[in-house]
């Protein structure tokens, strides 16, 4: 491998000749050979927006000349298009402020910009990092990445699942089945009502995640090192947030209190709580679906789901609810991530939080998992759900909890005796009620209409 010599304030470093990063990135790469998790590309894209917006604002404020502004913007566009992904190799497990990733971006922009310009035009600190500090850029990139990922990926995936659930509701109207509480038989419910519960969960999650976007839209940029805005123009923060909004198509605003913005990660904790709520609901929905589809002969068997792949290497013909399993595993990971995000956010010391890379790594993994699982679950399972009407009818009419309809006439205790007698003797509720002398056949038939109990 060929190398070139780069330098920083600590001296010279050998850097691979085919990479645009500089000495500080190389030091981090060599000093933090920890695991395989890299700074998420969503954060790098966010830095692309941030650095472009900062250059444009610094130019507007008369601090950065046109050639340097154009060079920075050109490289940022390459970052946003994914052309330079291989030049951002740093580990999540680095400095807790994300300083080395901020410098990684600065160095790549400077070296690539100089290459495009054909001259040494840009310095990573003096020009690319103008009016900025790692302490305000990394938390800003975190918020940009979080908002963009939620708006562009997660919310559309939730909306598609809600739409599919609405279609299932309509397709299954008129089907009445046995309800279940505590995994035991309960009073009847319409299948469309059961589906509506799933759909409403997702709608509520959608609403809560939407509420969390408000606090996440506040940006730390402009606070520089400790929140005072040292070395930044007084108008920089407001203008930069406006530019970032224009570039991303998402609404952002400058944080009113930069001291809070640099050291607190409460917005990410709040937003991840909404992600955890979605994960909890997806866990419940996926479990409901695989319970209802259990069988095909020895389970509930009230619905069928798509058969996507063989389920066993030893049992021929076995098919498993694999999409449900993937969703529930992802939900567990999101719930675990919530603990990591909360603990990371609690580690603010004085003017800075130094657990930011692990915080955003877990946050964005959760958004990614939920987005991808919703898309896969909707496509490969939920849209293919069909009701087994015969099994639902059989289970409904064999449920002892239908005796609830008789309670107003014969009383709770006599209704309980009827259910217990029917269960012990293996007879129908009708036979039990008549045998015990609580109702005549005509009276029972007048009262007993399961399909009307919903």
Distance in angstroms (rounded) separating the CA atoms of residues 322 and 142: 33
Q: Is 182 a catalytic residue?
A: yes
Other beta carbons within 10 Å of 118? 7
Contact (CB, 8 A) for 132 and 221 = yes
Considering the candidates 81, 312, 346, 435, report the single residue annotated as catalytic: 312
Distance from C-alpha of 185 to C-alpha of 183, rounded to nearest angstrom: 7
- Which stretches of 316-453 are assigned E, i.e. beta strand? 348-349, 352-353, 386-387
* Cβ atoms of residues 64 and 126 within 8 Å: no
Instruction: Identify the CA nearest to 162 among candidates 378, 1, 417, 419.
Output: 378
C-alpha distances in Å from residue 208, one per residue of 14, 266, 295, 337, 418: 49, 16, 36, 18, 46
Q: Which residue in the list 9, 35, 182, 313 is annotated as catalytic? A: 182
Burial of 320 (0-12, 13-18, 19+ CB in 10 A): middle
The answer to whether 44 touches 103, Cβ cutoff 8 Å, is: no
d(CA 338, CA 367): 11
Residue 343: CB partners within 8 Å, gap ≥ 6?
355
Query: Which of 412, 413, 441, 409 shows the shortest CA–CA distance to 428?
Result: 441
Nearest CA to 393 out of 445, 433, 450 is that of 450
Q: What is the β-pairing status of strands 218-219 and 303-304? A: unpaired
CA distances in angstroms from 256 to 221, 340, 391, listed in the order given: 11, 27, 60
- Is residue 283 a contact partner of residue 327, using CB atoms and an 8 Å limit? yes
Q: Any idea what DSSP says for residue 325?
A: H
CA distance 89 to 112: 16
Contacts of 408 (CB under 8 A, 6+ apart): none
Task: Give the residue numbers marked as catalytic.
Answer: 182, 312
């Amino acid at each position: 491998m060929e190398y070139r010599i780069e330098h920083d304030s600590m001296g010279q470093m050998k850097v691979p000749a085919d990479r645009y990063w500089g000495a500080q990135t190389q030091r981090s790469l060599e000093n933090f050979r920890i695991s395989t998790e890299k700074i998420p590309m969503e954060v790098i894209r966010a830095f692309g927006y941030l650095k472009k917006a900062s250059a444009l604002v610094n130019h507007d404020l008369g601090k950065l000349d046109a050639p340097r502004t154009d060079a920075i913007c050109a490289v940022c566009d390459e970052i946003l298009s994914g052309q330079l992904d291989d030049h951002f190799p740093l580990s999540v497990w680095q400095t807790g402020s994300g300083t080395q990733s901020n410098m990684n971006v600065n160095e790549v922009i400077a070296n690539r910009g100089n290459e495009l310009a054909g001259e040494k035009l840009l310095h990573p600190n003096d020009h690319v990092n103008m009016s900025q500090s790692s302490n305000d850029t990394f938390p800003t990139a975190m918020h940009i990445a979080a908002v963009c990922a939620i708006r562009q990926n997660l919310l559309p995936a939730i909306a598609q699942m809600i739409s599919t659930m609405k279609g299932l509701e309509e397709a299954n109207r008129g089907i009445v089945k046995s309800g279940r509480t505590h995994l035991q038989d309960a009073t009847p419910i319409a299948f469309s009502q059961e589906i509506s519960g799933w759909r409403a969960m997702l709608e509520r999650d959608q609403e809560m995640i939407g509420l969390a976007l408000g606090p996440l839209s506040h940006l730390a940029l402009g606070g520089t090192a400790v929140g005072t805005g040292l070395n930044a123009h007084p108008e920089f923060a407001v203008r930069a947030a406006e530019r970032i909004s224009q570039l991303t198509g998402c609404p952002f605003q400058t944080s009113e209190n930069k001291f809070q913005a640099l050291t607190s990660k409460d917005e990410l904790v709040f937003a991840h709580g909404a992600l955890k709520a979605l994960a909890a609901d997806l866990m419940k929905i996926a479990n409901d679906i695989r319970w209802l589809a259990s069988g095909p002969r020895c389970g509930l068997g009230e619905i069928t789901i798509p058969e996507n792949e063989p389920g066993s290497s030893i049992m021929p013909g076995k098919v498993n609810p694999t999409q449900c399993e993937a969703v529930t595993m992802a939900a567990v990971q999101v719930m675990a991530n919530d603990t990591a995000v909360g603990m990371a956010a609690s580690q603010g010391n004085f003017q800075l939080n130094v657990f930011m890379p692990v915080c955003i790594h877990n946050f964005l993994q959760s958004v990614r998992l939920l987005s991808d699982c919703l898309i896969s679950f909707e496509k490969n399972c939920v849209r293919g759900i069909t009701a087994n009407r015969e099994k639902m009818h059989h289970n409904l009419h064999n449920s002892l909890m239908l005796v609830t309809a008789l309670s107003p006439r014969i009383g709770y205790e006599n209704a309980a005796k009827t259910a217990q007698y029917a269960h012990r003797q293996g007879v129908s509720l009708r036979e039990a009620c008549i045998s015990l002398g609580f109702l005549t056949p005509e009276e029972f038939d007048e009262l007993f209409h399961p399909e009307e109990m919903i």
